[in-house]
Homo-oligomer: A and B are copies of this chain.
Amino acid sequence: MEMPTMQTTPSTQIVNIGGYDIGGSNFTVMAGPCSIESYEQFMETAKGVKASGAHILRGGIWKMRTSSKDFQGLGKNSFDFIKAVCKETNMKLVSEVTDARQIEEVYDIVECFQVGSRNMHNYALLKELGMQRKPVLLKRGFAALITEWIKAAEYVTVGGNPNVILCERGIRTFETSTRNTLDLNAVAFAKKNSHLPVIVDPSHAVGIRALVPDLAYAAAAVGADGIIVEVHPRPAEALSDGMQALTLDDFKNMMMKLDKILTAIDRPLHKVAPHAN
């Protein structure tokens, strides 16, 4: 087993998205649907999560699917209404790009480019993102070593873009009762062995709605800098990942308990910026 080099005082890179510092003294919550499915669904979700304290929107424009026959996302058809939702709620969007050619296409509507778990090793994509001026949310590959994850981030940072956020989203293990195995050891380890902010995606990590809040609390307690959570107004109608999406009520309840834990450990939630209008 490798002996980790422990830094006693990690000098965290602060990454700013829409006025919220990630990796500093406050905790950040990103929330939204797995896939952006329609103007109505996205607006309802955005307003709902903002009302409960979320800071940043998440939502998939193109989806990576195991089968080429599954719903692949709305793509360009959603660009105009995404802009409208972000403006109306005064929230910035983090969204996945799966190919270097998509970066330019969505540059105006995405404030933080997400690299999904299946693309963590897509070094061509990482190098391209290293040349951008917007932050990158780098999900851990579902079978990537912590050290590989940290090194993948360097493909972005050595290219000139220092604004990378690491995101633990569960790893693939022998366990099958849950969708993945959330690895909070990795969060604690990365916080001490990388200078980058580290957040947690409890939704993909466990894959069962009723358990998502518990894992979010654990993420806050272990020292993560934030979470990214799937929320859908009517999960049963979701076109992807409905089983793990919180309802707006679930999300509201989760935020209240999260607030208590974060207050207790002096890592309060950011204050929410007002609506644009």
Number of copies: 4
* A236 contacts the other chain (CB 8 A): no
Contact A181 B178 (CB under 8 A): no
Residues on B with beta carbons closer than 8 Å to the beta carbon of A222: 214-215, 217-218, 221
Give the complex CA separation of A155 and B210 in angstroms: 28
A158 cross-chain contacts in B, Cβ below 8 A: 68
Determine how close the nearest CB of chain B comes to the CB of A181; give it in whole angstroms: 5
- Listed stretches A13-21, A24-32, A115-123, A225-233; interface member: A115-123
Hey, what's the 0/1 contact readout for A126-170 against B, CB within 8 Å counting as 1?
010000000000000111011110011011001000000000001
Question: Do the beta carbons of A122 and B123 come within 8 Å of each other?
Answer: no
- Contact residues on A (Cβ < 8 Å of other chain), bracket: 35 or more
Question: Which A residues contact B (CB, under 8 angstroms)?
Answer: 1-2, 4, 6, 64-69, 98-101, 118-119, 121-124, 127, 141-143, 145-148, 151-152, 154-155, 158, 170-186, 188-189, 191-192, 205-208, 210-211, 214-215, 217-223, 257, 260-261, 263-265
